Amino acid sequence: MFDVRSAELSDAQTIARLHVDVWRETMRELASPSVVAALNQEHRLRYWTKKLSEAEPHQLVLMAEVKGEVVGIGAIGQPSDPVFGSRAEIKNLYILSSFQRQGIGKRLLKELAIHAKAMGYGAVALSVVKGNEPACRFYKALHARKIAEFRDPGPIWRSDNIVYAWDDIDQLIEQ
């Protein structure tokens, strides 16, 4: 069993820690050691503090908790790059590996899509670093469609990414 709730500014430290832990585990074979080192807890804390204190329009940040422990996060907002078109962008989806395959990622995606629909979006999209095959398989299993590839300009790492979309937002909500 897990609970999902909206994140608050006071959650920034916890979210940053989870983000670093999951990102490093996932990207250790895909990013250079210098990038892995640079995208540390201090960097992520600045990112999440800003995100939670200066919310952009249509933004929602969710946390999944098991017995009070944060085990997953998800965030959505306005598209950050033209490659997303008029779709809402799922900006973050991170689940601790020991809690994957328990429906947490699927539930966070569903809640983010419900929020996007309430904000007037009919579709959602996200990007995945090329080579992150477990994530690609997960999104494909949820009927996401590959729509593009692009280079994410990121603040530190310019990664090559695949963009997946659900052009019928209800398809994602009803899964």
Phi, psi for residue 161 in degrees, rounded to 5: -130, 155
pLDDT over 90 (residue 175): no
pLDDT tens by residue, 94-149: 999 999 999 999 999 999 999 999 999 999 999 999 999 999 999 999 999 999 99
94 and 73 in contact (C-beta within 8 Å)?
Answer: yes
Mean pLDDT, the chain, integer? 94
Q: In whole angstroms, how far apart are CA 122 and each of 68, 110, 173, 175?
A: 33, 13, 11, 16
Confidence of residue 38 (pLDDT cuts 50, 70, 90): confident
Task: Please report the pLDDT score of residue 170 as a whole number.
Answer: 96
